[in-house]
Amino acid sequence: MSQKILIILFIFLHCQVILASDPDPVQDFCIAHEAESGLNLQCKNSSLATVEDFVFSGVKSPGKFSETGLSATSVNSKIFPGLNTLGMSFVRADLEPGGINPPHFHPRATEIVFVLEGKVYSGFVDTQNRVFSRVIEKGEVMVFPRGLLHFQMNVGYERATILGSFDSQNPGLQRIANAVFGSGIEEGLLEKAFGLSPKELAKLRRKFASEHKE
């Protein structure tokens, strides 16, 4: 095999790894054992499957609202075992008037959102710090590319409801403020990075560290 062919083959295989998302399923379905947790969920015997394994009713209504006016119910393989190995997950988000979904990102998934009710200021920031944002209304859809910071705010006078879909069984979630101020990053670094006084930093750490534990 010539050196040129080897190089082409290497590039092809390398691209395949880069572009890969969740692994493709190797069987019709793999219903996770409900008692298990984590990413490597074992399949229960397929002969025991029923239609109820493929139906989830936990997003009929909003969940508990946070102090930011957000209620978010994630639908993933941990709570909906029928999703296991299918490479996708889902979220229902409700926003009170003026409520926000703070800046965050999903390291392992692209997200597409559909506005079921309301008017939502929605957008994302690319790696050149350009903001792509606008108000989206009932019936409109917006996509957030994988790994990019994004956000939403209800700018209407009624509660807004958003449905989101991910191209990963485990998209991951990092909220920016919680990741920065709710973690154990050295105080001196944060004070210099954000121009904060020790008192200001301590206040932010108390707020976001407590949110991180919820």
Q: 89 with 166: CB under 8 angstroms?
A: yes
**187 a known binding residue?**
no
Q: Is 14 annotated as a binding residue?
A: no
The residues that bridge with 154 in the sheet, in sequence order, are 120
106 annotated ligand-binding residue: yes
Comparing CA positions, the residue from 69, 73, 72, 120 lying closest to residue 99 is 69
14-45 exposure pattern, b = at least 16 Cβ within 10 A, e = fewer: eeeeeeeebeeeeeebbbbeeeeeeeebeebe
Contact status, residue 168 vs residue 162, Cβ threshold 8 Å: no
- According to the annotation, is 33 in a ligand binding site? no
* 212 appears as a binding residue in the annotation: no
Q: Which amino acid is at 107?
A: P
Residue list, annotated binding site for Mn(2+): 104, 106, 111, 150
Residue list, annotated binding site for oxalate: 101, 106, 111
Residue list, annotated binding site: 101, 104, 106, 111, 150
